[in-house]
Structure 1
């Protein structure tokens, strides 16, 4: 239905975005926030048509899509509020001291926008991580134009949302190229977008192979640019002894739901369950198996994801010494993922890197460890993750500090006695972890701190007050929080 953008079209898009950047970057925080709120209203105005089209393209149920649309609208509004408050600017002011030897200059620092940002839509979240998702919203908040490449799996959904954003652009009297929408199934489209000299940053949610390729292209440029890619994560869960002794059945039922939630198509799906061999782990596995067997296979987002799940699942299950613990006992239909749990020993896992790879879908692997020392060794063999979870009592935590420290070192969000599925949109959320879960663990793609990804610090030295940006002027006309001579303050500088 939609043609791939040509190299010439991409060149025109980026040139226009670069021109728009020099206008949009000067929009006030209030104006940017107003634009983001206008987008939220335009998306809401799409009504049932958006849900219907997205359902047809993604196989996601109506309730899930309505919930995700609400989340997307909430993100736009909450990031708009954060944009306007200005805390993310990290305004720092150190006033001059003329009689110091040598004299101390007046230095004032804040974050400023990077420039045009290319956002790649995600396959598994047609709203919240796609055209008007978190990357787009935070880039707008930072003062950057956005070029979205629609995900081919829900191109029409992306087109509808893009039209809503364009209406908001017009309503707010902004340059048209503050937002541009392109299509492209071929890798050449993505490469052309990344390599264009006016692209200044990239947002991506998807596979490791896709994210790493974008990252490599960006770093091979004459002027390397940041790529904020959320990629592979298997989100290990560590089942500690005392917790399992009292709660094995409860925890197993909880995780049966988490493993199969959304047909396992979440970046936070718990793909590894690591416990200590013995009666308690046996009870956990037995209960988990009973639950999994009764959960019906469900239709996956599209046939590409389903084929990949089938292939990756088969590869994992055919590895030496892998035991199938449970399969759904309900016959799958076309394009449906079969809920599956397998099990291996700690030794087998440590020595087989294939078992460390993500199987994107309703699949999880139980690892039986001989003791806590082997559990620590397993943790040391796990690569960087978005999340890691401990199912543990306070006593378990206090008695296993080396394990706790090791697990904390490999994740961005460290969870206790809960499930990793479900990512709250709030300022304290960290949705990003060590490589290969993301390309830069210092940043988050969820929460208003994500705005900082698309900005850079600039220090103004010895500038006259009336020439400074409003954010740094003595009178603080925006009323934002600033660190003035090491004290956090909204006060006017005398």
Structure 2
């Protein structure tokens, strides 16, 4: 069983950068854990990016579809490395073993799902409009297909060391599209990243692909990531993390001589609206569901319900606070998260309903915090409209359900928006749902937003600041579109067309 050695991977080989040394921290104890890693310098990043471009040119000349075998090989090797990966991730993140087990299964299934997409030839979305000389004006033969955009930079997320990291959704989608991937490992879990990176690098070699198809770059600080985003060979960026981090990468990408898209999934409030009818019929059940969702993973999920809006706000908040006071302080992922949580949850002018917790135990831990606010508070205090990563939420006590639409109009873009209602409410909720469609990428009814199924119909994205580009999802099979671009072939002979466009009958685009 391989243990972390303190390396990344470049050109298929273990690689140690020349820059600053760093180690992971076990957030459960506050002690360092695992081997020492070193940061890749900008010139080292540049060399990896050049290799990725060579791999891109080499791989796209292959006559066979190489993506599906690679994705399946990665999934298989992750299964073989399961024990070491889970143990290392547990030590570096403090995430429970049960959750990490589920996350590893999700990661492997995601890889296999994208392999299925490739094998069905669904990812290129070919369109053929036959020539029509009788049309006005005459129409030539047109064939459209999506092609890979080129090398993709992927930034591992702190809160999902497997599903949104080295072999996570961004990497799986980019490889499925036919794009080489350069991963910037998150410094909070470098050992986990190394072990998963080894699985990917070994799979690339086993499939006979160019070694530049994958690279794992370790690094503390921002220098490695900045060099990656500005490397001229990189054609797109996938990022899951903080609002500040996403904005910084987006700005860097926009300032390039040749700007590139950054698909950043950033902060999200994920509002939850609860009608008075629900409060009368099943308030305890909804409160319990909210508390479970809010505190799952110590509130460090981008889909955490961060604000509840209801005319029964005080009663809802009182019952929720009583449950939250019984919840053990949760382990935060790193010192930066703990510092931001402590600073961001001190909001003036609102009532804190949870009891103060001065003894949180060893390591990086935080007790849940719930505050009660009014619609007027939302108007005056910007901090109430920001995501606070960790076990924190706001309950807004509204005077009337007529205030739902106005409250929704104050909220920033979100990944999700939830409505808890009874059948008697539905006729009146049309205007609210209309507002929420403008606000969020996923509308949840009588449920909770923290679970995100990987499927073709999924949308994990939303209007700014939830995402930098609300036209795409970062979860589900259509996430592949982020790393493709359309090309149309006009009157091009069949022998010069990509294989997917050479079939005698492609479906016709509806006119």
Alignment TM-score, normalising by the size of structure 1: 0.93
Conserved? CA contact 1:27–1:143, under 8 Å: no
- Give, in angstroms, the shift of residue 284 of structure 1: 2.5
Deviation track 1:230-267 (CA, whole Å, cap 9, x = no partner) reads: 00001000111222221111111111111111111100
Deviation track 1:418-462 (CA, whole Å, cap 9, x = no partner) reads: 001111111111000000000001100000100000000000000
In the alignment, the residues of structure 2 paired with residue 399 and residue 284 of structure 1 have an alpha-carbon distance, to the nearest angstrom, of 22
Aligned pair in 2 of structure 1 residues 215, 237: CA closer, same or farther (>3 Å)? same
SS at match of 1:131: coil
In the alignment, the residues of structure 1 paired with residue 198 and residue 472 of structure 2 have an alpha-carbon distance, to the nearest angstrom, of 29
Deviation track 1:202-229 (CA, whole Å, cap 9, x = no partner) reads: 0000000000000011011111101000
**1:432 alignment partner, one of 448, 453, 461:** 461
In the alignment, the residues of structure 1 paired with residue 410 and residue 64 of structure 2 have an alpha-carbon distance, to the nearest angstrom, of 45
Aligned pair in 2 of structure 1 residues 250, 102: CA closer, same or farther (>3 Å)? closer
In the alignment, the residues of structure 1 paired with residue 228 and residue 503 of structure 2 have an alpha-carbon distance, to the nearest angstrom, of 41
- Tell me if 1:298 matches 2:315: no
Number of corresponding residues: 475
Residue segments in structure 1 that go unaligned for 5+ positions in a row: 477-481, 488-494
- Give, in angstroms, the shift of residue 304 of structure 1: 2.3
- Give, in angstroms, the shift of residue 61 of structure 1: 1.6
- Give, in angstroms, the shift of residue 88 of structure 1: 2.7
- Tell me if 1:12 matches 2:36: no
Aligned pair in 2 of structure 1 residues 100, 420: CA closer, same or farther (>3 Å)? closer
Conserved? CA contact 1:29–1:83, under 8 Å: no
- Tell me if 1:483 matches 2:498: no
Conserved? CA contact 1:328–1:339, under 8 Å: no
**1:92: which partner in 2?**
127
**1:387 alignment partner, one of 411, 416, 429:** 416
Conserved? CA contact 1:297–1:328, under 8 Å: no
In the alignment, the residues of structure 2 paired with residue 29 and residue 286 of structure 1 have an alpha-carbon distance, to the nearest angstrom, of 61
Q: Where do residues 348-363 of structure 1 align in structure 2 (5 Å cutoff)?
A: 348-363=377-392
**2:24: which partner in 1?**
none
SS at match of 1:310: helix
- Give, in angstroms, the shift of residue 286 of structure 1: 2.8
Conserved? CA contact 1:274–1:375, under 8 Å: yes
In the alignment, the residues of structure 1 paired with residue 168 and residue 324 of structure 2 have an alpha-carbon distance, to the nearest angstrom, of 32
- Tell me if 1:260 matches 2:300: no
- Give, in angstroms, the shift of residue 344 of structure 1: 0.7
- Tell me if 1:179 matches 2:205: no
- Give, in angstroms, the shift of residue 99 of structure 1: 4.1
In the alignment, the residues of structure 2 paired with residue 63 and residue 263 of structure 1 have an alpha-carbon distance, to the nearest angstrom, of 14
Deviation track 1:293-351 (CA, whole Å, cap 9, x = no partner) reads: 111112222222222212212x23xx11x111124779411311101211011111122
- Tell me if 1:333 matches 2:361: yes
In the alignment, the residues of structure 2 paired with residue 156 and residue 282 of structure 1 have an alpha-carbon distance, to the nearest angstrom, of 45
In the alignment, the residues of structure 2 paired with residue 180 and residue 70 of structure 1 have an alpha-carbon distance, to the nearest angstrom, of 23
Conserved? CA contact 2:307–2:395, under 8 Å: yes
- Tell me if 1:211 matches 2:246: yes
- Tell me if 1:324 matches 2:359: no
- Give, in angstroms, the shift of residue 474 of structure 1: 2.9
Conserved? CA contact 2:144–2:487, under 8 Å: yes
SS at match of 1:364: strand
Q: Where do residues 383-462 of structure 1 align in structure 2 (5 Å cutoff)?
A: 383-462=412-491
Aligned pair in 2 of structure 1 residues 221, 156: CA closer, same or farther (>3 Å)? same
**2:79: which partner in 1?**
44
- Tell me if 1:287 matches 2:319: yes
- Tell me if 1:122 matches 2:150: no
Q: For structure 1, which segment, 363-372 or 448-457, has the greater mean C-alpha deviation from structure 2 after superposition?
A: 363-372
- Root-mean-square deviation over aligned CA pairs: 1.6
Conserved? CA contact 1:115–1:200, under 8 Å: yes
- Give, in angstroms, the shift of residue 103 of structure 1: 3.0
In the alignment, the residues of structure 2 paired with residue 24 and residue 437 of structure 1 have an alpha-carbon distance, to the nearest angstrom, of 34
Conserved? CA contact 1:58–1:301, under 8 Å: yes
In the alignment, the residues of structure 1 paired with residue 273 and residue 202 of structure 2 have an alpha-carbon distance, to the nearest angstrom, of 48
- Give, in angstroms, the shift of residue 399 of structure 1: 0.9
SS at match of 2:268: coil
Q: For structure 1, which segment, 328-337 or 183-192, has the greater mean C-alpha deviation from structure 2 after superposition?
A: 328-337
Q: Where do residues 51-66 of structure 1 align in structure 2 (5 Å cutoff)?
A: 51-66=86-101
In the alignment, the residues of structure 2 paired with residue 400 and residue 104 of structure 1 have an alpha-carbon distance, to the nearest angstrom, of 47
Residue segments in structure 2 that go unaligned for 5+ positions in a row: 1-35
- Give, in angstroms, the shift of residue 375 of structure 1: 2.5
- Tell me if 1:342 matches 2:371: yes
Alignment TM-score, normalising by the size of structure 2: 0.90
- Give, in angstroms, the shift of residue 101 of structure 1: 4.9
**2:339: which partner in 1?**
307
In the alignment, the residues of structure 2 paired with residue 425 and residue 29 of structure 1 have an alpha-carbon distance, to the nearest angstrom, of 27
